[in-house]
Amino acid sequence: MKLWFTKGVWTRKNAEKKIETLSFQDIKSIAILRHAALGDMVLTRSFIIEARKLFPNAKITLSVISNYTRGVPDDLVDRVHIIHGTDQRDTPLRTRIKKIRELGHHDFIFDLAGGNRSFLTCLFTPAILKFGFPYRKIRAWMFYDVATCRSDLNFEVNDMLNMLHILGAKTEYPHVYNMPGEAVQRDKPYVVYFTGASEPEKCWPHKHFAELITQMAVNYPDRDHLILDGLKDWERANRIMDSIGDIKNIGAVRADTIEETTALMKGADLLVSNDTGIRHVAITCNTPTVGIFISGPYRYWPRYNIHEAAFPREKDVTVSVEEVKNACNNLLNRAQ
């Protein structure tokens, strides 16, 4: 085994010597740290699939945090390790560290989180080599043996896979996610719209969504146009429905579990959404998406032809309805 790079990667002085003594068959256990919410969690599936191919004899442990267990890809790993998250803030530090240590020794650790809890996990977990992609070089020196580049200008799955590329992995593109579940069966084909996000500031204005959905319903009368109901007040479908009025091929739909959400996404012709985890679920289902971003989209925009991004090119400008509609038309026409 060797490290495949000339520039742009940080390594400890002894990392290359350690690698040279190993083969891919020698690696018996790897740990993947992914302390993240639903959207980031499901995107991890591609990394796990590629790691399984690269290390055929390794047992894979996925380390997550207690407040973010929705969408954990337990179908792809041998073990899930859960440490204390923000829902357990009062847990004493000694207890937290004890839980971290339960991860145990691994041949390789891949930190796909790059946050305080994953830094702590790297610090207290022994391994032959630890890989990460921190934004700041000092963190590479503090926690890892090998650190690859990370940039908000790259789709994050690409940056994660670079930790395998440096070992010579030949990963697939477009990415493979193997998201389990079957598509919802409906009488008519349908487009899904999700108007929510993790916070109101990341949401495209409701009046814009109402105008877009109305125009799409008229332009594509052969399809149902479904507004996915969210959990929070600013994500409720009725806020859009009240603005639209009674149009026969527009309706609201609920998906309360990850299984229901996946089934809905797998059956959709298109998802139109803010920058949110629902869109990431659609990406892993190979469903075309139009993402509406308040700021730069590149970290969460896979650059293959079933995904579009609408985002402002200037400060304090809102993406127009026309731009989002054109992106929708492009994808639906391309699919036909």
pLDDT single digits (tens) 36-45: 999 999 999 9
| 292 φ/ψ sector (left φ>0, alpha ψ -120 to 50, else beta) | beta
- CB of 46 closer than 8 Å to CB of 176: yes
Domains and CATH numbers, the chain: 10-165 (3.40.50.2000), 190-335 (3.40.50.2000)
pLDDT higher than 80, residue 108: yes
What CA–CA distance (Å, rounded) separates 207 from 204?
9
Q: Can you tell me the mean pLDDT for 275-300?
A: 95
281, pLDDT greater than 90: yes
pLDDT tens-place string over residues 52-101 = 999 999 999 999 999 999 999 999 999 999 999 999 989 999 999 999 99
Q: What is the pLDDT of residue 222?
A: 95
